[in-house]
Amino acid sequence: MAQFEPVLTRHFAVPDGHLLKTYESKGGYQAARKAITEMDPDKVVQIVKDSELRGRGGAGFPTGLKWSFLPKDRKETFMCVNGDESEPATFNNRQLIELDPHQFIEGMLISCFATKASTAYVYLRFEYIHAFRIMETAIAEAREAGHLGKNIYGSGFDLEIYCHRGAGAYICGEETGLIESLEGKRGWPRIKPPFPAIEGAFRKPTVVNNVETLACVPHIIERGADWFKSIGTPKSYGPKLYCVSGHVNKQVCIELPLGVTTRELIEEHAGGVWKGRKLKATVPGGISMGVMSADEQDVKLDFEDIKKTGCLGLGTAAVTVMDDQTSMVDYLYNTSRFFAHESCGQCTPCREGTTWMYKTFKRIKAGGGRLEDLDVLGQMAENMGLTPGTTICGLADGAAWPIKNVLAKFRPELEEYIRTHQAPRPIVSPLQKAIAAGISADPTNTALQIVPSPQAALRSPHAS
Amino acid sequence: MAAEATTPMLTPAIREKILAYIPRYPSKRAVTLPALHIVHEYLRCVPYQAMVEIAELLEITAAEVHDTMSFYGFFPQAPIGDVRVWICRSLSCMITGGDEMLEYACKKLGVRSGQTTPDGKLTVEFAECLGICDYAPAALADDGRIFGPLTPEKVDAMLEELKKGPVDPSHGLNPSSGAAKPSTSEVLNSKPN
């Protein structure tokens, strides 16, 4: 562990690391040259398969296997890179793009060669404004130097990379939602099968990979599958960028072998819990993955072990730390608010369920909670998402998991909160005011029943 | 929503920019998002007339453009301020004070989240995770500047800075400027690491 040598982040501290000449001077594009001029695509796929590289975007699907699902007789393939990193607390892809864009482009180059894709779209979320500029510059530089374009390295392989910017929708990080958005439609996830490998972007076979996944590829080609498998824990190999944020002294993104614990992350890399307080809970990998209590901090953050805690999975390995003064009601209020805002509205259980959960937590937080709410919320959480099979994509699972986990791990706290935070209803309609003032008002007059809109309804930029 | 404009809303320069995207994709409809971004960049909003004209360029219907445009929370139909700033309210930011910072900024400017200041300089909005959690609680301006970790004093400084208008989009990209990081954030940033 002590000898772990960072690879993905090795150029992060290098001045001008985002420029091609810096990257080339450090041996950049050698792996791509080796793959394209000396290997055939199937061999590259085989090496990646042997390395057991698993997707870094959240689901952890084996990358090589994904590539091998492409039909053998395909004529055209598209590569879509998922840079719509919208999972709360995750920012590793942003750093990978901003600080070492050519490593990522080299990864794309090799992966497109392996999958015979001659067009790659980098779907970048709009909020990564700086990363977008860096990417545009880096692509132009790489094309100029002959790493992209026609007949790369004289091999007859062509590749064009385009950045496609999102517009602030979390759901476009779901691979088929991303494809729909790329095609110029609303980002509604598609029913699978067919999976993108068979019918994806523009109805052609498509590979969708995460930025970090592709950034691993040049290193696998350069150092071999065995090197990659020497890092990490069984079934979860390789280095991983862990993001730590929230109640810590130092919010960081750090590269470590897969399988560190949150305790190590917090104490050794993030400077400990802030203000000298104690830890209460951590979110292991973006808020969709659920929550871990203070006594589960020695569980390894890899694709397998994490499930023992009842969490959904490793997710994006973005750890949010919460100190002992954080209320779990606030946490659930936040997660439910997020998912209610980001549900795409396609499937009823999710569209209605997430909003309903948000309203419930808003009411509980404001002092109008009822103990039965917890049972109903638990039932809701069990009945929405891919796990019970009621939605097209996994967003609803992500919305349900924090609730399931908190009910299992912190239920007494929620009950205590509901009991001790009972307040009169905060929203009073004009009719109620009239009744209270002793004015005789017509109760059928609907104008009197209009309740002031909650703040959230006023978010539209043109509602003035 | 009446199409009162007799002269086209999109200038030849905007049209040219949109048309340049067409060879990138196998279908013209795929240019919808880039076109919306281009129009938004020039006009600071996407009015209905612009949607009609985008539709003509891409050989789709205006309804299809509107369908896509309205799905994303990004494109307003009336102009926003010279600078748009998002203050994050997702988990890492909220637990470190993001909601309070948004409230503070709104109060200071005398607007609600999503509104523009009367002088048209600044639009302030909440955002769900901006992906800059290492600056939590954080804010992002639409010219790329990052602000954080925010405190009431830093919100004051940020708003002052943003009222001066957007910065040159190429900042931080030139080799001489060293670290690839927006300049103002460095000034305002007192990140411990």
What per-residue confidence (pLDDT) applies to B191?
A: 43
Q: Which ipTM was obtained for this model?
A: 0.88
| Rounded distance between C-alpha atoms, residue B82 and residue B162, angstroms | 9
Domain A233-323 indexed as CATH 3.40.50.150: no
Q: What is the pLDDT of residue A368?
A: 83
Residue B37 belongs to a domain:
yes
Residues B95 and B49 in one domain: no
What is the domain range of residue B122? 83-167+177-188
Measured between beta carbons, the chain B residues lying within 8 angstroms of A181 are 33
Percentage of chain A beyond pLDDT 90 is: 86
Query: Fold match between A20-230 and A233-323?
Result: no
Residue of A nearest to B145 (CA): A130
Q: Position of tokens 């301006």?
A: B141
What are A31's two structure tokens? Answer: 């792996």
B83-B129-A187-A124 Cα dihedral, nearest 10 degrees:
70
Which SS3 state, helix, strand or coil, does residue A246 take? Answer: strand
Whether the per-residue pLDDT at B3 is higher than 80: the answer is: no
Of A18, A88, A164, the CB nearest to B129: A88
DSSP B135: G
Residue A456, pLDDT above cutoff 50: no
Contact B173 A326 (CB under 8 A): no
User: Is residue B78 situated within a structural domain?
Assistant: no
Cis bond before residue A349 (omega within 30° of 0):
no
Kindly state the DSSP code that residue A268 receives in the 8-state scheme.
I
Please tell me whether residue A239 adopts helix, strand or coil conformation.
strand
- Tell me whether residue B6 is in a domain: no
Share of chain A above pLDDT 70, in %: 95
Q: Which pLDDT score is estimated for B170?
A: 58
Which of B37, B64, B132 is closest, CB to CB, to A91?
A: B132
Residue pLDDT, tens place only, A355-395 = 999 999 999 998 888 888 999 999 999 999 998 999 999 99
pLDDT per residue over B121-139, tens digit each?
999 999 999 999 999 999 9
Chain B, 123 to 162: residues with Cβ < 8 Å from chain A are 123, 125-136, 140, 142-144, 146, 149
Whether residue B2 lies inside any domain: the answer is: no
| E-only strand ranges, A2-156 | 78-83, 119-124, 149-152
User: Which residues of chain A from 256 to 295 reach within 8 Å of chain B, CB to CB?
Assistant: 271, 283, 287
Check pLDDT > 50 for residue B176.
no
User: Does any domain span residue B77?
Assistant: no
Q: What are the beta bridge partners of residue A120?
A: A79, A161
What span, in angstroms and rounded, lies between the C-alpha atoms of A232 and A151? 37
Answer yes or no: is B172 within a domain. no
Say whether pLDDT at A161 is over 70.
yes
Cβ-Cβ contacts under 8 Å between A and B: the total is 203
Residue A31 and residue A200: Cα distance in Å, rounded? 28
Touching check for B120 and chain A: CB below 8 Å? no
Return the residue of B nearest to A343 by Cα.
Answer: B71
Bridge partners (DSSP) of residue B127 are: B88
- Are B93 and B183 within one domain? yes
In this predicted structure, what is the pLDDT of residue B184? 37
For residue B119, give the CATH number of its domain: 3.40.30.10
Q: Decide if pLDDT at A460 tops 70.
A: no
Using CB atoms, which residue from A125, A127, A334 is nearest to B94?
A334
Q: Which comes out higher in pLDDT, residue A427 or A87?
A: A87
Is B147 part of any domain?
yes
Q: What does the pLDDT read at residue A370?
A: 85
For chain A, say whether B184 makes contact (Cβ under 8 Å). no
Task: State how far residue A40 is from chain B, nearest Cα, in angstroms.
Answer: 27
* pLDDT, tens only, A321-336: 999 999 999 999 999 9
pLDDT at site A451: 66
pLDDT of residue A343 exceeding 80: yes
**pTM (2 d.p.):** 0.89
| Coil vs helix vs strand at A351 | helix
Q: Which of A169, A125, A89 is nearest to A342 (CA)?
A: A169
Residues B32 and B117 in one domain: no
Verify that B89 and B39 share a domain, yes or no: no
- Cβ distance B90 to A334 less than 8 Å, yes or no, reads yes
> What value does the mean pLDDT of chain A take?
92
Domains in chain A: boundaries: 20-230, 233-323, 328-420
Once rounded to an integer, what is the mean pLDDT over residues A218-224?
96
Q: Do B98 and B136 belong to one domain?
A: yes
Residue B177's pLDDT is: 37
Inter-residue contact A394 to A388 (CB < 8 Å)? no
Give A169-218 pLDDT, tens digit per residue: 999 999 999 999 999 999 999 999 999 999 999 999 999 999 999 999 99
Q: Which two tokens stand for residue A390?
A: 């009621």
Chain B residues within 8 A of A94 when measuring between CB atoms: 131-132
Just give the CATH number of A20-230. Answer: 3.40.50.11540
**Sheet harboring A292-293: ordered strands across?**
A252-257, A239-246, A318-323, A279-283, A292-293
Statement: residue B172 has pLDDT above 60: no
Q: Do A247 and B76 touch (CB under 8 A)?
A: no
Which numeric CATH code is attached to A328-420? 1.20.1440.230
Residue B5 lies in a domain: no
Interchain CB contact of A68 with B (< 8 Å): no
How many structural domains does chain B have?
A: 2
The model's pLDDT over A269-298, given as tens digits with 9 standing for 90+, comes to 999 999 999 999 999 989 999 999 999 999
pLDDT at A455: 44
Shared domain check, B183 and B99: yes
Q: Given pLDDT bands bounded at 50, 70 and 90, which one contains residue A425?
A: low
Residue B181 has a pLDDT of: 39
- Cα–Cα distance, B114 to B111 (Å, whole number): 8
Instruction: Work out the average pLDDT over B89-103.
Output: 96
Nearest CA to A107 out of A23, A185, A191 is that of A23
